Amino acid sequence: MKARIILASASPRRRELLDQIGMTYEIWPVHIDESPRCNEAPHDYVRRIAAEKSAACHAQAVHMGLPVLAADTTVVLGGQIMGKPKDKEDAIMMLRRLSGRTHQVYSAVSLRGNEHGEALNVTHVTFRALSEREILAYWATSEPADKAGSYAIQGLGSVFVQSIRGSFSGVVGLPLFETAELLLQQGIQVLHE
Ligand SMILES: Cc1cn([C@H]2C[C@H](O)[C@@H](COP(=O)(O)OP(=O)(O)OP(=O)(O)O)O2)c(=O)[nH]c1=O
C-alpha cells in the first residue's frame, strides 16, 4: 500500500512534483508570515520558513499518524533574497537584475513525522541577457506574479535559462532527490514492490 503524507502547501507546482514520484498526499495549505528577518542568511531563511510551514500542521497530523512535508523556495542574487514580486515594478526590477547573470535558487524541505528531517538544495541558474521588451512581454503573461524571482523555469521562463547546475525540481519548488531521501529516512519508500 502507498504511504500517505500531508503536503503543507498551496503550491500547484509542489503537488505536480509529488505526483511525478507517485506519492499520495492530502493538501493542507498553510499561511505564515514569510518575511525574512533582518540580516538573515538565505540558507537560514528558507530552512526556517519550510520548518515553520510543516510545524503549522504537525500537531493535527500527529493525531492522524501522518507525516507532514513542506518546502520553501527563494531566488538569491549576490547573496540577496528575492521572493515573489510585490507588483509589476518589482517583477521588472528582479528580471532586469537576473538578466545576463548567474543566480542561486535555494529550496528547503522539512518533513515532520516521528522525527524532524530537513534538507537544502542550492541550484545555480544562468540567464541570458533579456531585453526590456521581452521583460515587459513576460510580465504580461502573468507567469511571473506568484514565483520567487519572478520567473518559472518550467514555463515560458525556460527561454531565459541558458544553463542550470543542480536540481531542476529544486528550482520548481521541491527538490525530489532530497525529498525522497528524507521520506526514506522515515521509512517511506517512493519505489516499492
Ligand atoms: C524560481 C522558480 C520558483 N517557482 C515557484 C515555486 C514556489 O511555488 C514559489 C516560491 O514560493 P514559496 O513561498 O516557496 O511557495 P508557495 O507560496 O508558492 O507555496 P506554499 O508556501 O503554500 O508551499 O515560486 C516556480 O514555480 N518556478 C521557478 O522557476
CATH number of the domain enclosing 153: 3.90.950.10
Domain annotation covers residue 113: yes
CB 75 near ligand 1, within 6 Å: yes
- Extended strands (E) in the chain: 4-7, 24-27, 68-77, 80-82, 102-112, 116-127, 161-165
pLDDT of residue 1: 53
Domain annotation covers residue 191: no
Count how many residues are written for the chain.
Answer: 193
What are phi and psi for residue 116, nearest 5 degrees?
-105, 115
CB 151 near ligand 1, within 6 Å: yes
Residue type, 30: V
Q: Which residues pair with 120 in a beta bridge?
A: 108
Domain annotation covers residue 132: yes
What are phi and psi for residue 78, nearest 5 degrees?
55, 35
Alpha-carbon radius of gyration of the chain = 17
ipTM for this prediction: 0.97
Look up 72 and say whether it is catalytic. yes
Domain annotation covers residue 31: yes
Structural domains of the chain, count? 1
Q: Quote the cell numbers at residue 130.
A: 533579456
193 residues of the chain, pLDDT tens digit each: 566 899 999 999 999 999 999 999 999 999 999 999 999 999 999 999 999 999 999 989 989 999 999 999 999 999 999 999 999 999 999 999 999 999 999 999 999 998 999 999 999 999 999 999 999 999 999 999 999 999 999 999 999 999 999 999 999 999 999 999 999 999 999 887 6
CA-to-CA distance for 127 and 30, rounded, in angstroms?
32
Ligand 1 mean position to 107 CA, how many Å?
Answer: 9
CB 121 near ligand 1, within 6 Å: no
Q: The whole model's pTM is what? A: 0.96
pLDDT of residue 192: 74
Show the domain range for 137: 4-185
Domain annotation covers residue 40: yes
Domain annotation covers residue 190: no
CB 110 within 8 A of CB 51: yes
Strands 161-165 and 116-127: antiparallel
Domain annotation covers residue 193: no
Looking from the CA of residue 30, the nearest atom of ligand 1 is 22
